[in-house]
Structure 1
């Protein structure tokens, strides 16, 4: 489907959910855009209102005026029913000057949070401006270390789901297989991990783990975990103590990892670990 914010870098019309009443599939702040070049990127529902939004977006593009719309409960559009039974408030704003959008994209690329202020009365968009706050944050990033099918399967799954994913490996075959699936390779350690980064290790040779874990555990990474049994986890904890890693940092180490106990199939393990990490991130 593409990235809505990136699609707005050349200007167009921005549609944003400003309020939700009752059940709905999207949260306030979810956006859909209608680029000046044509088409649309993103969705605000499961297909219930997108065609109608496109009609209103054309009007906004033509006259440069904000539209405030209500769908579902309390809406004048009786022919547009939301199956979930709730109500949805949407604003459509013209984006004639995409400079603030480009600024937000640059901040996100540098993995910095930023805020776009949407003035729903004047129809303006400004970095750190007044109005409805649209938070632009870096996506969850996955840094994987390891060798073999488990490491490749996990990194490829995260990449396929649309997340930034990188793999560090000493094994040439692992590197080649991962690269063929679109996974970026890295040589650096986990020292550049930020609060939206997960670090995951899939090694069968556990002797390779301590140096990577020691660096990851004192980084801001929100999740640090390693594949293996409870016995392996206890052994790596002792190895980290021998390296002088603080107990508070060691306590952050997750293991065994994944929501499904003792998963052995690489695909099941990958889904299990990815779900655990995203659940942690959602908290």
Structure 2
């Protein structure tokens, strides 16, 4: 039986309070205690923008994994993990947009952080956001005292792997080294599995980890779901880069082609890339079925949203 997804209305009804919780927590936490000259670009990079897909995946996976016998600390752990992964995502965008990498001037419909605050300000803001992500998940001030230490450690490890050399940073290194080269499908898949997919997969795995120990079947199913939807997100991004305008995207459209970067559209054509996104969606939903978890409707609905999005 195929994984059942909520309708768009049901998804919106679930997302609304979840996003409100995430936004309130980010508003409270981001840049707290930092010098004003650092807190301002940190908050500029995170607040008032973004789809918050990664936090939603954390919260939806925590819901699925904790649907039976959820521990009392599940909500706190999941909220901290959701905000932590969003700070890692935000820091990566700050650094990716800088002149030494993608040299972009528009992000989330406003000037990029280095344009607004200078390159040094952007570099430091990214560094601080990366560090704060881990501080939120495993704070020293005792505010997450109810979350078992082994769960905090697991969350830190999953986030570090998704963001580091075997994840997002490694994928970005391959991306920068591949400009002007034609990659085969296996090479392109590996680059995007790391650059974009690893952090999305980590979001799902972190949500599941918030519920404590799961069966191997459930863990493998959620991991496979995260991998498929992470890659689907990048395929759709490649499609939107050539089909949407900058105002809709909130970032510079057509920049991948202009920079001669390898993309799924360049490799498979527009129709082929769209078909690949649909194939990955089916793969993700099959993985949810294989997990054996009962309450996966939110994850299934988010997967549909990822593939159907227009920005």
TM-score band (shorter)? under 0.3
Q: Which has the higher helix share?
A: 2
Q: Pick the structure with greater CA Rg.
A: 1
Give the strand-richer structure, 1 or 2.
1
TM-score (norm 1): 0.27
User: Comparing both chains, which one has the higher relative contact order based on Cα–Cα distances under 8 Å and sequence gaps of 6 or more?
Assistant: 2
